[in-house]
Amino acid sequence: MTHAFSPQALVARVAPPTPLAAQGSFWVAVERVSRGEATQARGQMFVQYAIPSELRCPWPLVLVHGGGGQGTDYLITPDGRPGWAGFFLQQGYAVYVVDRPGHGRSPHDPQILGSMGPSPSFEVMEALFAFPERAPTYPQARLHDQWPAARADGLDVMDQLLAAMGPAAADLATAHAGMQRAGAALLDLIGPSILVTHSAGGPFGWVVADARPDLVKAIVAVEPLGPPFLDRGPAGGLAWGITAIPLTFDPPAAHAQDLDRVERPAPKPDLKPCLVQAEPARKLPRFAGIPIVVVTGEASWMAQDNHGTVDFLVQAGADAEHLWLEDHGVHGNGHMIMCEANSDAAAAVVDRWISRRVLGASGN
């Protein structure tokens, strides 16, 4: 029998570890609430950090997971390779990997945080993430070919993916408010940072930039939740365009209904028309000066409408651009880009963007 996860086997198949100056973990935004005679914790966010001995970038990356996932999405791929956290460590970035409130090591008590939606299923995750090309429901699905092999080192890859996933908060506005509170508390502790978000974690970047604009050096939004004004039924929707909670608009918007909407046609075939603000559009002044990039995989269902988020941001005065991985020689990616077979190649594209737009602009 091969002991694939013995110390000897693990050391033999990974690159030499990056020398670390510090590593550890903590929780932020621990709110004490009274329930009868008991005082309990609410809204906390788990943070795991690693600091390389030689820092290439003065600002850390805060890696924010999506959906019902957790920070492990960035620590290890489902087939056992080092994840984006390890990749960026090797490039000289400090990394802070979070478990958003109510996910992973940030426990969710429905009696404190409210109800949750259903847990994800193998059937849904296989259709959305692993094998959309088998029964295509959108045009780009036929291009998907980057899901890892079915088994790796004796473990089933889908087992590894689903084991990390749980239900998400049933109310989107509550989730976004929790992200803002916890994210602002984190940046108050660690200082200016680059936010790297994914999917349903995308609004983390928007709400934290609105709360702490001076502490957000850049936002890398990997297939963020959208398109603008998305309606998610009973869970609520992106009533404020890209978030479920208010942002600071100029002129001010007292209510979400103050944001007049108009449909913008799809920019090319196989893409969808998306809603933006009617002109003259309200601006997002706290986003001004923050470099933002939306990263999209070639074969993801979000390839159909990620452009809508970019359009909304640019219209609101943000310094936002759209990065299509296929334009940089990285092909076949679905929605879980950081978990796929070419995850390092995709991370390298993000690294080059940060070097060009953030480090280059600062002279570092």
- When computed from its CA atoms, the radius of gyration of the chain, rounded to whole angstroms, is 20
Distance CA 211, CA 214 (A): 9
Residue type, 98: V
Residue 146 has pLDDT above 80, yes or no: yes
Q: Is residue 301 within 8 Å of residue 285, measured between CB atoms?
A: no
Beta-bridge partner residues of 294: 221, 322
Domain boundaries, the chain: 17-362
Pick from 93-102, 128-137, 226-235: least confident: 226-235
φ, ψ at 113 (rounded to 5°): -100, -5
Confidence grade of residue 73 (pLDDT, cut at 50, 70, 90): very high
Higher pLDDT, 207 or 152: 207
Read off the pLDDT band of 1 (50, 70, 90).
very low
Lowest mean pLDDT among 149-153, 217-221, 281-285: 149-153
Which candidate in 106, 193, 199, 343 is catalytic? 199
What whole-number distance in Å separates Cα of residue 21 and Cα of residue 246?
39
Q: State the pLDDT at residue 2.
A: 54
Closest CA to 56 of 345, 342, 352, 328: 352
pTM for the structure as a whole: 0.95
**Tens digits of residue pLDDT in 339-352:** 999 999 999 999 99
Q: Is the pLDDT of residue 259 over 60?
A: yes
> Residue 30 — pLDDT band, cuts 50, 70, 90?
very high
CB–CB of 64/37 below 8 Å? no
Beta carbons within 8 Å of 256's beta carbon, 6+ residues apart: 239, 240, 246
Q: Which of 204, 283, 280 is nearest to 249 (CA)?
A: 283
Note whether 341 and 147 are within 8 A (CB). Answer: yes
Active site residue 355: no
For domain 17-362, give the CATH number: 3.40.50.1820
